Structure 1
Amino acid sequence: MELIKQGAEAKIYLSEFQEVFKIPLLREKVIIKHRIPKRYRIKEIDEKLRKERTIREARILHRAKEFRVNCPYVYEVNLRDMIIVMEFIEGERLKEHLERIPMEERLSLCRKVGKEIGKLHRAGIIHGDLTTSNMILRDGKVYLIDFGLADFDSTLEAQGVDLHLLKRAMESTHYTWFAQGFKVVLEGYAEILGEDARQKIEEKIAEIESRGRYRERNWVG
């Protein structure tokens, strides 16, 4: 078992199915996500929070799968140790891949990104951390990963914030072509949810951006 990432809330390990479930010869890779205890919190409150977040993430992934979102399968949830064992999506991070391919291919993948987000929002789920770092390209399909900040929320405000965060992330990481790329993301989104939903989400994103500019002006003043 190899530690591959450590965040504020959890440690992420890469392991094999046979090691976790004691099934010989099955060498499929899995991700083990362990929500670690926080010593600064009262023990009972800490356990309650970690349990709630572990259950919520597992339920979100299960519901996303029901709506055909490309995301990891959940194999096991251990509420004694606050662990989720899930599928390892082996492929290339979209963040790097998008910078190495022609523009036509980039836009094709951006459309796929928009479709996956559309399916996620149709399921009443927001991801909470939409960046191309949390997207994997496997067998020509875009997979969403890292649902630690995801939540059940079908409000236009939450969906607008979700896509606004992606727009800002793309502007930062893919600044030479992000405007065209994000436009195609929204086109893919509309293929799932319809043009009316696209218009509403564009208006909401613009509203969120205007609120941000208003706060910046007041802060500077």
Structure 2
Amino acid sequence: MDNNTNFTIIKQGAEGRIYKGVYLQKPVIVKERFNKKYRHPELDDTLTKERIKAEARGIVRCKVAGIFTPALYLVDLKRRCIFMEDIENSTTAKDYINKLNEDEENEENKKCIDKLAYEIGASVGKMHVNNIIHGDLTTSNILIKANKIYFIDFGLSHVSTSAEDKAVDLYVLERALLSTHANSDRFFKKILLSYQDNNKKYKEVITRFEEVRTRGRKRTMIG
């Protein structure tokens, strides 16, 4: 970010940094990708630019499909950055679910969780109908604001017609839920029901999902 004082780093990972700041008088999140020193510079530059463009395309394709994502303000390939809307005053689906699960016997809380499961399933169904693979479906990558859910972090997204790729997308979501949330089995079943209601071609995907799930369980047992 060239030491721009308008931005504050809020997260750093293996792939890059996340900044918060203001751009064009709007609150933004900026995602910056690192140089990979172990790769040939030209190869690194090409691969990074393709990843950035794929992420931007994933965000735009979701918007066209009617799925809420942050607004895209700028894709700066030279600086390896994406500038996007900061969904202010939002909460992650992860924190939202965990908060409701603190009183899991509360019927209103159950209804809220079921509603969220329906919305997630419907949105993922729409993604897959439009051949969008998110690549990292977790409740940390879903934001909730004003009764709307927003999908974020399309860094691993791509376009695919493959039922296998869509099944893996679902499997990643299931594994994320199992490792993060109580009562995740019930929650994921609700997601699958909504997914099927919003994806006319769900049968092949669900068949492949069961196969992917079986392979995953075998790998876990074998270690």
In the superposition, the TM-score normalised over structure 1's length comes to 0.88
- SS of 2:198 mapped into structure 1: helix
The residue number in structure 2 matching 1:22 is none
How far has the Cα of 1:216 moved from its partner? Answer: 4.5
In structure 2, C-alpha distance between the alignment counterparts of 1:39 and 1:51, rounded to whole Å: 15
Deviations 1:14-42 (A, max 9, x none): 11123xxxxxxx3x311111111111111
1:6 to 5, 8, 12: 12
Amino acid at match of 1:207: E
The residue number in structure 1 matching 2:99 is 100
| Alignment of 1:45 onto 2:66 | no
How many percent of aligned residue pairs carry the same amino acid? Answer: 37
Deviations 1:74-112 (A, max 9, x none): 111111111111111220011011122211110111100
Structure 2: runs of 5 or more not aligned? 1-6, 101-108
2:172 to 165, 170, 174: 165
Tell me if structure 2 keeps the 8 A contact 1:93–1:132.
yes
The residue number in structure 2 matching 1:76 is 74
In structure 2, C-alpha distance between the alignment counterparts of 1:59 and 1:130, rounded to whole Å: 17
Tell me if structure 1 keeps the 8 A contact 2:33–2:80.
yes
In structure 2, C-alpha distance between the alignment counterparts of 1:216 and 1:34, rounded to whole Å: 34
In structure 1, C-alpha distance between the alignment counterparts of 2:175 and 2:84, rounded to whole Å: 29
1:122 to 123, 129, 137: 129
The residue number in structure 2 matching 1:211 is 215
1:179 to 168, 175, 185: 185
The residue number in structure 2 matching 1:152 is 159
- SS of 2:206 mapped into structure 1: helix
The residue number in structure 2 matching 1:23 is none
When residues 93 and 216 of structure 1 are mapped into structure 2, their CA distance, relative to the original with a 3 A threshold, is closer
| Alignment of 1:33 onto 2:31 | yes
Amino acid at match of 1:178: S
Tell me if structure 2 keeps the 8 A contact 1:73–1:86.
yes
How far has the Cα of 1:203 moved from its partner? Answer: 2.1
Amino acid at match of 1:214: K
In structure 2, C-alpha distance between the alignment counterparts of 1:154 and 1:10, rounded to whole Å: 29
Amino acid at match of 2:16: A
1:190 to 186, 190, 196: 196
Tell me if structure 1 keeps the 8 A contact 2:135–2:158.
yes
Q: CA RMSD in A?
A: 1.5
In structure 2, C-alpha distance between the alignment counterparts of 1:83 and 1:155, rounded to whole Å: 29
- SS of 2:149 mapped into structure 1: strand
Amino acid at match of 1:121: H
How far has the Cα of 1:165 moved from its partner? Answer: 0.9
How far has the Cα of 1:57 moved from its partner? Answer: 1.1
List, as ranges, runs of 4+ consecutive aligned residues in structure 1 with deviation greater than 6 Å: none
Amino acid at match of 1:51: K
Tell me if structure 2 keeps the 8 A contact 1:126–1:154.
no
In structure 2, C-alpha distance between the alignment counterparts of 1:149 and 1:33, rounded to whole Å: 13
